[in-house]
């Protein structure tokens, strides 16, 4: 959660490393965004069963193989 909040604050501030004068505000923003994001994820409700990364990756590989498969040439 912290890494996502840090990426967000870096993006909107336009700075990957704040100056010493802005470090406290930068760090506070990261902490607050991580905190609020955690609340959001804790409060979300879903009736769908959890997904498996392995199963979803296998499905994606199968779709990719079908999409990018080279067509078979007819024998002459």
Instruction: Name the residue among 20, 18, 39, 44 with its Cα closest to residue 29.
Output: 18
What predicted TM-score, i.e. pTM, was given to this entire model? 0.62
Q: What is the pLDDT of residue 56?
A: 96
Q: What is the pLDDT of residues 35-55, one digit of tens each?
A: 999 999 999 998 999 899 999
Question: Alpha-carbon distance 70 to 59, whole Å?
Answer: 19
């Amino acid at each position: 959660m912290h890494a996502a909040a840090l990426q967000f604050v870096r993006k909107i501030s336009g700075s990957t490393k704040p100056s010493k004068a802005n470090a406290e505000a930068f760090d506070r923003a990261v902490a607050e965004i991580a905190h609020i994001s955690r609340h959001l994820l804790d409060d979300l409700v879903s009736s769908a069963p959890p997904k498996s990364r392995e199963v979803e990756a296998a499905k994606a590989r199968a779709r990719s193989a079908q999409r990018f498969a080279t067509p078979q040439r007819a024998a002459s």
